[in-house]
Chain A
Amino acid sequence: MELMNLEAYAIKSPARKLNPYIRVFLSVGALFIAVVANSPASSIYVFLFMLILILFFARIPSGVVFKLLVLPMSFVIPASLVIAFLQGEHAIFSLNAGFATIRIYREGVMTSVETLFRSLAGISSLYFLILTTTMSELFSILKSMRFPDFFIEISMMVYRFIFIFLEEMEIMVTATASRLGFSNFRSHLRSFGMLGSMLFIKTLEKGEKIQIAMESRCYDGKIPYLKLQFPPAGQIILLILILLSMTMVSMLYR
């Protein structure tokens, strides 16, 4: 859960000089190119490009970036390994395990390497977005994309509730544990149910209070935002150049 603090990096990051539209289009564009191109070369290019942006432009400490990358990789690496056992004709390795023969195929290894790099490219572009953009900027962008007001409102409430939930949960888990609430499996289950429902109710009450507080301040379902500025021409040209270079790499090295 310590990852919830990622927004703190976004607020401090010098990358906020860049217009929010540019940041969003850059990461989504890079992600799109990596996923559509399906070539390891362009995936590696996108991955390295975004990594360099995160480290030297957004100035995120390398230790943090490493930790952040390891986390999804712990799912992606084993998963792409599974593919190596599934696809292809030419076995490059086989092991007779008595009841079944386990084979690794050459084509499968190719696909798994491809998948691994594609995921890396995708994850690094996603991290660029996460580490440079705050939620309120994203809400403004959603609004300018004509998402309905009540949908954005519900999303913002969910966002606020997540944090209330986590704060309350921490307090209540400590209280339960100090009363031996998690001492064995049965009481663990019982405590979990109690804790969950109390959490639900407490958060609901807090939410209702927020609602009342806002309504007494003339809230009618619309939260006004500062309108985002249109990006300056220089930044648009930069964005187009970066995305073009990524497209070129994916066209040249298939």
Chain B
Amino acid sequence: MHIAEGFLPHPWWEIWFVLAIPVLIYGIHRLKILISDRPELKTMIALAGAFIFVLSSLKIPSVTGSCSHPTGTGLAVVLFGPWITSVLSAIVLLYQALLLAHGGLSTFGANVSSMGIIGPFAGWVVYKIMRKFGIGVFKTVFVVSVISDWFTYIVTSFQLGLAFPSTHGGVLASSGVFLSIFAITQIPLAIIEGLAATALFRYLVQLKPDVADLVKSTRSEVTG
């Protein structure tokens, strides 16, 4: 996803900023509460951020003004919830713009909305539902990663479609065109990301069981 710098025209990049900033402010507020409650988590949170950065730097060019790559937000959602994931994604996107010119400052709002807010929230909803039905935590991690990834790309297609509506069929038609180009790389890539995230989570809870405490009621499932 990561829409390139300057790619979105005049009204659209501001609109996505307006949508993203309140969420980020609330996310920073939540992060502050979490850190003052459990200061030992600070390293872990920063680490999840660096992890998102490394995963979403593995980019593959896609034909759509942005590119395809894993998003890495699924794991952060499972560990810390969507609000803190949105702040982490914002930090990561800023670094990607400033270190790699991947994404950009004017499209920062749009990229945060897709990768940091809507994708993770979709994953969070799925997480809540699956845990309610008592589905195993590893299956949940897989589905959450895949869903957050796909939703990120659906939102990006929609952002591009809104900014460049087709004259023959409007926003939906052009969103469809962008989405179908993304789909070629992203459907398999998201599934691979999901498998890798699940494997990673499995080793993580085995080797560092205190991590599992973050995810409520996981510990008994993993050790017992």
List the interface of chain A (C-beta within 8 A of B).
Answer: 1, 3-4, 6-7, 28, 31-32, 34-36, 38, 43, 68, 71-72, 74-76, 78-80, 82-83, 85-89, 105, 107, 111, 114-115, 118-123, 126-127, 129-130, 135, 138, 148, 150-151, 153-155, 157-159, 161-162, 164-166, 169, 189-190, 192-194, 196-198, 200-201, 203-204, 207-208, 211
Contact = CB atoms under 8 A, between A and B. Distances in A.
Instruction: Report which residue of B7, B10, B99, B166 has the largest number of chain A beta carbons within 10 angstroms of its beta carbon.
Output: B7
A211 B42 contact: yes
Interface in B148-171: 160, 164-167
Top 10 nearest A-B pairs (CB, nearest first) are: A193-B199, A122-B6, A79-B65, A197-B203, A161-B50, A157-B46, A122-B5, A158-B49, A207-B43, A196-B200
Interface of B: 4-10, 13, 28, 31-32, 35, 42-47, 49-51, 53-54, 57, 61-67, 87-88, 91-92, 94-95, 97-102, 104-106, 160, 164-167, 173-174, 177-178, 181, 192, 195-196, 198-204, 207-208
A223 to B, nearest CB: 13
A195 to B, nearest CB: 9
Contact of B5 (A126, A148, A197): A126
A35 B28 contact: no
A76 B31 contact: no
Given A35-B106, A119-B7, A166-B54, 16 more contacts: A6-B100, A31-B6, A78-B64, A78-B65, A79-B160, A83-B164, A85-B177, A87-B164, A89-B167, A122-B104, A155-B91, A192-B199, A197-B202, A200-B204, A201-B208, A204-B208
A72 B66 contact: no
Contacts of B181: 82
